[in-house]
Structure 1
């Protein structure tokens, strides 16, 4: 998710009020203080990608400083390197590395998952359920699904988790880039079991995010809201791509368009994507294909959001618009341009001509460019120059 939506949502939510007063960061009463015999919750975190690793780190640091006798967070990732990196940074008093998903399922009271795609999420929760049916939990567990998924998957996960006694599921996607996550300023959306949301909300704010938006008990609402937010971003990317392409065809320098964006749309995220298109900087963060690995999680790359993730989100949004008979023609076009850009990049990779390993979804501009007869990823080649 990008700084663009984060900026807009921060402005809207920070000014929201009820009866003239600002809404609180957490829309629930604080949970009852545990008795002296209560034990701190054992937290598990599955998926240490670009976002997950930062959220897990912030959560571990906050609990280490503010929760007395808090046990180290138990982390698991398909690639052990991500776990090792976090352990080296925080140490044994804040992080433990799980040997398996089964260990996370049996040892943890609250389990967060931040995975790359729907298939990875379904596979992970199937494994959780199989494990807990063989080893029924003696007390309550809360599963917190933070990935960007198609809404109906939440219902499938609920069927799995609710089949195990004492287990509850909430959906809780977040808005913000890794840099926003690093500052613990994420906007957190929640839907599902009320008591579980209350407990998790006070665990995440202010450790991981600045505010929680409650969308009620229907588990599908939070994933739907996340896709609506992503549609705002994707639509903005498409408009930028088309505008930059028209400027190139009409002989106006991309630097002039970028300056205009900064003057009339001073949103950090929009400026950042404008800068990428203006300077042909399309390096992204990798989300490897499930065809390559089972139980896939997001892996760190460089700076952006991989176009594969953008295509997945666009596909989810288009499916949602069809279900609700609510057309979004701009998203249809954006989806086509994303696929075109990925096809071109794949051809370049096969020919050994690629300039970036992972294409960021701002590379959507390549789709608009080739439709206009321009070079896809280098606007300075064969540029159109209009004479005065």
Structure 2
């Protein structure tokens, strides 16, 4: 019989992933949904096929019924709070598998794994790579690390359901291994956004127009189109003006981009490897965070807004007028 699955955390990635689980996960019982803002869970259930998902009103109530529990929350503090609630009564989760999809510091994943093991359950760190559109298409990349049996139990819910592929998997390796790989992968994504932002603004200032650089990117880099190609993702969001039109829950929240870039810098310091690219990302992203217009603010800013920040530094407007 298929496992009973619970999902905690319904941000943009979480909502798309839950939709995929209900349509492609071969679940034989409703997907259990919990979100701190309950209305978001009810709204999602209303958009899914009847009987495929169910809102639970507490973490403990859902955990008592589930075999596999996914968490997809925003940051390290939220992870600590969520797992504190999950582990409040160890009897509830003993023998179960907990899967952390979020991107956090490797030390947070290691601490979580140890707390889960002490409660008699298994923890799989499984950060994912890709924007919400990739999650909706089942085209994320998943990076699982954890006990062999637990990883094996989770893989059928990843490949072909939530993800188009699995990096690793890091079987019987520490949970932090997956997070270190995700941090390294993020340097590619953030580096692409930074490079495009500066190149587009430079072309605007030179009188060429960013569109011609977009044409060059299309011709030179985008022959194979995928939902996770950062040049595709960020070129489209920058040139279309989505970076200042996205409003709440942008495809790439700027505060999360800053967090991910700083994690990469911390990893470099930890390993004694000086890296400079993420410093540039943090610089431009912080300009977006401080912008007072439609593209700014910790809840509305889009990491693709680095294009607008670079335009402002060039004496142009934050919005490109698209």
For residues 375 and 138 of structure 1, the distance between their equivalents in structure 2, rounded to whole angstroms, comes to: 55
Q: Does 1:375 align with 2:316?
A: yes
Q: Does 1:202 align with 2:143?
A: no
Which segments of 5 or more consecutive residues in structure 1 lack a partner in the other structure? 1-38, 287-300, 381-388
1:365 aligned residue: 307
For residues 9 and 299 of structure 2, the distance between their equivalents in structure 1, rounded to whole angstroms, comes to: 22
For residues 62 and 96 of structure 2, the distance between their equivalents in structure 1, rounded to whole angstroms, comes to: 11
Q: Does 1:331 align with 2:278?
A: yes
Contact 1:184 1:207 in 2 (8 A): yes
Contact 2:250 2:301 in 1 (8 A): no
2:208 aligned residue: 252
For residues 61 and 8 of structure 2, the distance between their equivalents in structure 1, rounded to whole angstroms, comes to: 11
Q: Quote the offset at 1:354 in angstroms.
A: 7.0
1:13 aligned residue: none
1:170 aligned residue: 124
Equivalent residue for 1:235, pick from 182, 188, 191: 191
Mapping 1:106-185, distance limit 5 Å:
106-132=64-90, 136-137=91-92, 140-165=95-120, 167-185=121-139
Q: In 2 relative to 1, CA 57–277 (structure 1 residues): closer, same or farther, beyond 3 Å?
A: closer
TM-score (normalizing by structure 1): 0.74
Q: Kindly indicate whether structure 1 or structure 2 has the higher relative contact order, using CA contacts under 8 Å at least 6 residues apart.
A: 1
Contact 1:283 1:357 in 2 (8 A): no
1:186 aligned residue: 140
Q: In 2 relative to 1, CA 130–248 (structure 1 residues): closer, same or farther, beyond 3 Å?
A: same
Equivalent residue for 1:57, pick from 8, 16, 19: 19
Q: In 2 relative to 1, CA 103–283 (structure 1 residues): closer, same or farther, beyond 3 Å?
A: farther
Q: In 2 relative to 1, CA 323–282 (structure 1 residues): closer, same or farther, beyond 3 Å?
A: same
Q: Quote the offset at 1:235 in angstroms.
A: 1.0
Q: Quote the offset at 1:225 in angstroms.
A: 1.1
Q: In 2 relative to 1, CA 74–169 (structure 1 residues): closer, same or farther, beyond 3 Å?
A: same
For residues 161 and 243 of structure 2, the distance between their equivalents in structure 1, rounded to whole angstroms, comes to: 31
- Partner SS for 2:204: helix
TM-score (normalizing by structure 2): 0.89
- Higher Rg of the two aligned structures: 1
Count of matched residue positions in the alignment of Structure 1 and Structure 2: 314
